A and B are shown apart, each in its own frame.
Chain A
């Protein structure tokens, strides 16, 4: 037993899809889990989170100019979770905050034509008396902040008054698995009593175009902005009796599933319906009774996908049931672990 997940919160946006339209994709067939229970139990309100400015935890106006939607969602989520789960001073001072992020580029950085033009104009200017002072006339002064890799992590720390250990993982879906593994390490060597792990993904043209470039076939590709967070404590922590998930162990290879059985399989990281099917097939050696992937509902959720899968697991598993959670990245790297409902 490695750790216990005692709280989960998540949010997802509209889908950015290959047919150019924003909104849910009707063309893909839904997998069996849609007919299962929706998410009535665990922090379900978070999924309904609407990013309107009247929300009590909405970011300050002065911060909004450098915040993307997934970061706003992350800020509201973590503040709500803090109240709901009464995180105390030991989290703020000794805890860890590990954030996965799969796209660091905001919309106003997408105007590369203007940036390229501004750069070349600047270079041609050769007027030290004016241009030197402005250092890049024509380029938004917010540009560096809009590409800041640890933006979400730093804003969350600022809003939660969090002073502990913290880092950001940049990758695709697998970034959140990297964060989860480090969370377990920190708990095991006892440098932190509690870890908040989360993921943010911002779906925009840049992310979309880039992810498409990794695919052989873009038919059916879609992605959505999302944010998800979960709280880990040592296995012998204070989660007993609560609606929590225990992380039993990590697997090194898919082959190890040959002798394993679980009630559920929760899998994610696929980019197209074909990949979704292939990933499910590659898990066939596991003996399971039901499988679930968010893909058909939301498309690729990047670094937020693991939290979403865990939220699904927390809801759909019954007491004492087990599940294997499988995540794949854009390069075909697969990581997996087993969870049990307490």
Chain B
């Protein structure tokens, strides 16, 4: 069976490292670290007060939205990011979706959990208790009928927005597997192209945990570092909160040929696995991670030594980093020393459901610019047979690369990319 490919036409993100590919490349080359004190809410009293936030100047479309969408954007940061990233490429997206029959297009979105505006929900629930259902509904009738629900950021909102404001499409998927959401959106989006069910798929996602509810939840889980995120460092003590919205456009060979396009990269393999260990902790042996990486390589029909670079999940938490390195070591075997592994989460933060699209964009940018992003915050690296570049970025041609994301609950997803220009 010949190798299956989903061609990558373009990748675009709005992240703490900037809007679009050139801003991202500049940030990566400058070794920019976006960690800074939180501005979106007052973090006083919390042990961690830093996060990687998207620059407010990059979120410029809110005032252009209709009233109903503005309400959603005000209550739900990940929607504001999503609308902004789409609006910044509106014309290109419309032209591209206009060039493909609607039923041959699809959206695959990895989405975060609800961003609860806690005070507002408390009010709505109190109204319900005090007045009964219909009165409470009448009170909220302003939102009603406009299909912009103010208290629950419904997963359908993001696809609905695209459909109404950017371009109609055939089908949509909303994948919600915490930190692996948008990675899986890319995998399943590629499957939709590879199975011949679609010619053009927009795959990506949006998330932000920089709000009171999510931030305190992650704090409760004990995964936020009280000082700084240090992936693969022996002194690592947690990750740093981030946010991101973005997408990649995956196309079939037929679509690429018909439109005379010359994509630089292609998604050629994915591997999903479950730990089936404990819902509250990843399998410390990394067996699930190993299965995901192995099946991604198998689907891509590649030997481990073909991989030049791995953009790791590398959260900087105690439980993730060592298990991930050991799993990769087992898969790579004797080839380990030639394979560079790095995590860029200390630079852009952990975007949770959008971590997949954030790091996919980092990876495609590295691949097309012969760049290996260093583990900037790693001073005392974990002992490993793999190459862990630190301090400064390196130059290297990358023909094949792999990216990992693992989620709470034991969901693992790996993607394999091919550089078509080498």
A residues near B (Cβ < 8 Å) are 18, 20, 63, 66, 96-97, 101, 104-105, 110, 112-113, 115-116, 119, 122-128, 131-133, 135-136, 139, 141, 143-145, 147-151, 153-155, 157-158, 160-172, 174-175, 178, 181-182, 184-186, 188-191, 205-206, 209-210, 212-216, 218, 252-253, 329-331, 333, 335
Looking at B114, B116, B176, B275, which has the most chain A CB atoms within 10 Å of its CB? B176
5 additional contacts, CB 8 Å, given A166-B272, A175-B155? A104-B114, A153-B274, A154-B411, A165-B272, A185-B188
* Residues 139-177 of chain B, each 1 if its beta carbon lies under 8 Å from chain A, else 0: 010011101011110111000100000000011111111
B216 to chain A, nearest CB (A): 4
* B residues in contact with A143, CB < 8 Å: 216-217, 220
- Judged by a CB distance under 8 angstroms, whether B279 is at the interface is yes
B215 to chain A, nearest CB (A): 9
Contact B191 A191 (CB under 8 A): yes
Question: A115-B122, A218-B137 known; A178 and B172 CB under 8 Å?
Answer: yes
Which one, A125, A128, A329, contacts B156 given CB within 8 A?
A329
* A residues in contact with B315, CB < 8 Å: none
Contact A331 B160 (CB under 8 A): yes
* B residues in contact with A161, CB < 8 Å: 276
* B residues in contact with A184, CB < 8 Å: 195, 197
List residues of B (71-117) whose CB comes within 8 Å of A's CBs.
103, 111, 113-114, 116
Question: A66-B279, A167-B184, A185-B197 known; A150 and B273 CB under 8 Å?
Answer: no
Contact A182 B178 (CB under 8 A): no
- Judged by a CB distance under 8 angstroms, whether B410 is at the interface is yes
Docked complex Cα distance between A141 and B184 (Å): 28
Instruction: Give the bracket for the number of chain B residues in contact with chain A.
Output: 35 or more
- Judged by a CB distance under 8 angstroms, whether B62 is at the interface is no
Which one, B122, B221, B291, contacts A113 given CB within 8 A?
B122
Looking at A127, A141, A213, A329, which has the most chain B CB atoms within 10 Å of its CB? A213
Contact A124 B191 (CB under 8 A): no
Contact A112 B121 (CB under 8 A): yes
* B residues in contact with A139, CB < 8 Å: 216, 220
A328 to chain B, nearest CB (A): 12
Q: Which residue of A lies closest to B46 (CB)?
A: A135
Cβ contacts A to B, 19 pairs, < 8 Å: A20-B133, A104-B113, A112-B125, A122-B216, A135-B216, A139-B220, A147-B217, A149-B177, A158-B276, A165-B272, A165-B273, A166-B274, A175-B174, A188-B197, A189-B4, A190-B1, A213-B140, A333-B156, A335-B171
Looking at B191, B291, B295, B299, which has the most chain A CB atoms within 10 Å of its CB? B191
- Judged by a CB distance under 8 angstroms, whether B277 is at the interface is yes
Docked complex Cα distance between A214 and B45 (Å): 37
Question: A161-B276, A168-B176 known; A149 and B411 CB under 8 Å?
Answer: no
Contact B151 A210 (CB under 8 A): yes
Docked complex Cα distance between A188 and B196 (Å): 9
Contact B177 A136 (CB under 8 A): no
Question: A135-B220, A158-B276, A182-B191 known; A216 and B145 CB under 8 Å?
Answer: yes
B71 to chain A, nearest CB (A): 12
* B residues in contact with A128, CB < 8 Å: 45, 47
- Judged by a CB distance under 8 angstroms, whether B280 is at the interface is yes
Docked complex Cα distance between A148 and B133 (Å): 27
